[in-house]
Amino acid sequence: MEAILAWDGEPIALLDRWDHATEVVVVDATAGCGSPGAIRRFDARRRPLPARFFSLSSHAMGLGETIETARALGRLPASLIVYGIEGADFGFGAGLSPEVARSANRVVDRLSTVVPAR
């Protein structure tokens, strides 16, 4: 795995970013699916993401729709793992809630074993 992106674009544009990648890991927020900070891991090659887990999006096509569009177009990478971290508060304000920040760090620690430091 060669690159880390902080992606603030539309999810659908990820198709172009992972076109030449063999292994992709996406970390995104989930809402309404458990305790704040709960971490879930999905193998998106094996089956679609549960729709209720990734319904947050300010765009018309969220992460789940993006992955299914990629699957329909034959543009899924060889490996696509999605980590969802349950958010605590999606209201106004900046920063992560403490439990979400702790979980984000745990995911980062987990990924740092597979993504070389640069």
User: Interface with other proteins by CB under 8 A: which residues?
Assistant: 8-10, 12-13, 15-16, 57-61, 65, 68-69, 72-74
Q: Encoding tokens for residue 116?
A: 């070389």
Least CB distance to other proteins at residue 75 (A): 9
Residue nearer to other proteins on the CB measure, 9 or 32: 9
Least CB distance to other proteins at residue 10 (A): 6
Interatomic CA distance for residues 49 and 41, integer angstroms: 10
Residue nearer to other proteins on the CB measure, 24 or 70: 70
Least CB distance to other proteins at residue 72 (A): 4
Interatomic CA distance for residues 81 and 23, integer angstroms: 8
Close Cβ partners of 47 (under 8 Å, ≥ 6 residues apart): none
Interatomic CA distance for residues 87 and 100, integer angstroms: 6
Residue nearer to other proteins on the CB measure, 80 or 103: 80
Q: Is 117 exposed, middle or buried (0-12, 13-18, 19+ CB in 10 A)?
A: exposed
Least CB distance to other proteins at residue 53 (A): 16
Residue nearer to other proteins on the CB measure, 48 or 98: 48
